[in-house]
Amino acid sequence: MSIPIETITKPVQSSKSKIQSDESLTENGFYWREKNGVKVLVCRALEENGFTNGFSTRLGGVSSFPKNDLNLAGFGEDTDKNILENRRRFLQVFDGNFQLATAWQVHGDAVKVVKNLAQATEGSGKFDALVSNLPGILVGVKTADCVPILLGDAKTQAFAAVHAGWRGTVQSIVKKSVERMRAEFGTKTEDLTCAIGAAASCKNYEIGQEVIDAFQTNFPDSEHLFTPTRENHALVDLHLANEEQLVSVGVLPENIFVAPFCTIDRTDLFFSYRSEKKLYGKTGRLLSVIGLKAKVET
């Protein structure tokens, strides 16, 4: 059954508040990396633990969403040529020669394990998370308001990218991704570093009663995630919901870094399905990626 979701769209932040948000990056564990107009948000702790990582923005591309946007997915709403050029530009931001590994996302809870190059290049399978320990690839998930999560285990060198909209969050996809890393690669949760990227925040993301019920069925103590707005509606905090799921499986709170951005507020930086679909009839997609550099033969 289709579950209705409504959105409250607030005015875009002032220039002053944008500057304040950007200045908070350091204390939240992130920094900007830019190359040829492409701007990417990087989690410093993941990088220091050996993982190439980045959360894309809409800046520096060739797509008309509405102009010069870095749309990295959505072949039904953009040309193959544009998306492939945008991906080329995006990958050039990172040092190293990487193969991008993605999947056909369906708002489910399936986790793909990427063990070889053939599996990395095959992107038609229906998954909403990818895990690997293969050097030379970047596993990536596509979002435009949903929560992107990157996980890295410096001890086993396993890593993961997770797409968690409200459906994935209700199905505990981030917990299942951690469990898959543990089963496949021997990851211990206390060794994980986790970065949660920009997404629709609790300031703006309104859901209906059926979604509230879905959360409460799976998480009886979830009332604190909601801020009531009107009858049978509330704002939901998906950032916090996923952060709490990570802590519940043993991830140390000090190893979880949350980007201080709302995609609905910051359409100057990010795509927002709920803000832009009704304006343009289409919206771009962001990519959040993590991986290990391929070892250089000497």
Rg of the chain on CA atoms, in Å: 18
Helix, strand, coil % over all residues of the chain, rounded to 5: 30, 30, 40
* pLDDT (0 to 100) of residue 21: 57
Asked if 54 and 288 touch (Cβ cutoff 8 Å), the reply is yes
* pLDDT (0 to 100) of residue 14: 38
Asked if 207 and 6 touch (Cβ cutoff 8 Å), the reply is yes
In tens, the pLDDT along 69-127 reads 999 999 999 999 999 999 999 999 998 899 999 999 999 999 999 999 999 999 999 99
* pLDDT (0 to 100) of residue 22: 63
Q: What is the pTM of this model?
A: 0.92
Calpha distance 153→4 (Å, rounded): 37
Calpha distance 42→27 (Å, rounded): 13
* pLDDT (0 to 100) of residue 204: 87
Would you list the domain boundaries of the chain?
15-200+250-291
* pLDDT (0 to 100) of residue 252: 98
Calpha distance 198→57 (Å, rounded): 9
CA 25 to chain centre: 17
Closest residue by Cα to residue 157 from 7, 31, 295, 27: 295
Any idea what DSSP says for residue 268? Answer: T
For range 204-233, the mean pLDDT? 93
> What end-to-end distance do the CA atoms of the chain give, in Å?
57
- Confidence band of 280 (pLDDT split at 50, 70, 90): confident
In CATH, which superfamily holds the domain spanning 15-200+250-291? CNF1/YfiH-like putative cysteine hydrolases (3.60.140.10)
Calpha distance 210→134 (Å, rounded): 40
Asked if 147 and 199 touch (Cβ cutoff 8 Å), the reply is yes
